[in-house]
A = this chain, B = another copy of it.
Amino acid sequence: MSELEHYIKSYFGIANQNDLKTIVSLFKSTTIKKGDYFLKSGKICEKLSFIQSGLLRIYIKTEDKEVTQWISTKGYFVTDLSSLVFNTPARFTIQALIDCELYTIDRENYLLLKSLIPQWPELEKLFIARCFVMLEERIFSHLSMTAEERYDLLFEQNKELFNQVPLQYIASMLGMSPETFSRIRKKKSI
């Protein structure tokens, strides 16, 4: 369980060892098989998970295509924040791309944190603020970069992803067609 501890420490910046133990104890080890759904759009998201191992794809189905919003990887958290926090139907579907080991906290225990750890809301705020900033940066990339530049940026940040998941999903997540992705990829290999 120490990996979760380590990440919660670095994500939430918790110094107090007791609080850390309390938080970690509320996460239960769970698994999810390749192809299974962590969440289906329209349902209420009742959990937040830390990814010990595996990959999950977060996407939205529109009439004519699937749009991959993000692929969550080892060492990160996964949930539909909007659904979890506001208790509204999820907009995203989340599916395991390979078998995953997760540490999962359900809504009940998640709400418990507020009373068990006095500074939890503050920590949570900082966590969400950090996520917000990441999205700001992602928007900036769409306002100012070409498809190829976005490819380069992601590749630099997360090379491993490029040989772990179907490339079409990465293409979608970068806002380009699989063909464009493939052509950029070819260009790099020459």
**Residues of A with Cβ closer than 8 Å to B?**
60, 62, 65, 67-69, 81-82, 85-86, 114, 119, 121-122, 124-126, 128-129, 131-133, 135-136, 138-140, 142-144, 172-173, 175
Checking B62, B67, B69, B132 against A132 with a beta-carbon cut-off of 8 angstroms, the contacting residue is: B132
Residues of B close to A125: CB separation below 8 A: 85, 121, 124-125, 128
Given known A-B contacts A121-B121, A122-B121, A132 and B175 have beta carbons under 8 A apart: no
Checking B68, B82, B175 against A136 with a beta-carbon cut-off of 8 angstroms, the contacting residue is: B82
Residues of B close to A132: CB separation below 8 A: 81-82, 128, 131-132, 135
Given known A-B contacts A60-B140, A135-B139, A144-B62, A126 and B85 have beta carbons under 8 A apart: yes
Residues of B close to A128: CB separation below 8 A: 125, 128-129, 132
